[in-house]
Amino acid sequence: MQLTGSPSYGPGAAVTPSDTTLINCRALWVGGLGNVAIATQTGAAVTLTAVPAGTLIPIALDQGRVMATNTTATLIIALQ
């Protein structure tokens, strides 16, 4: 049986927040409570505050960044 309407993701990779490292993903898994600061390739930036542990953030990043500055969440996984 396969559920419909639910996205499926390929392998994930651990994310070390960095103000310079570029990543590509279709979603972010946040394992530990905190803020997640994200910047896109074009420079648009947003900080998601008080993200609960165990949250899936369905945001596609193409050459984006999970910023070290303002990111306090832990155990972040980039999902393909």
β-strands 34-39, 45-51 pairing: antiparallel
Answer yes or no: are the C-beta atoms of 80 and 12 closer than 8 Å: yes
pLDDT for 6 equals 67
Tell me the pTM. Answer: 0.88
What single-letter DSSP state applies at residue 62?
A: E
Q: What tens digit of pLDDT does each residue of 29-68 get?
A: 999 999 999 999 988 999 999 999 999 999 999 999 999 9
What pLDDT is stored for residue 12 in this prediction?
Answer: 93
CB atoms within 10 A of CB 5: 4
Domain annotation covers residue 24: yes
Total domains, the chain? 1
Domain extent at residue 68: 12-79
Question: Does residue 5 lie within any of the structural domains?
Answer: no
Residue 2 lies in a domain: no
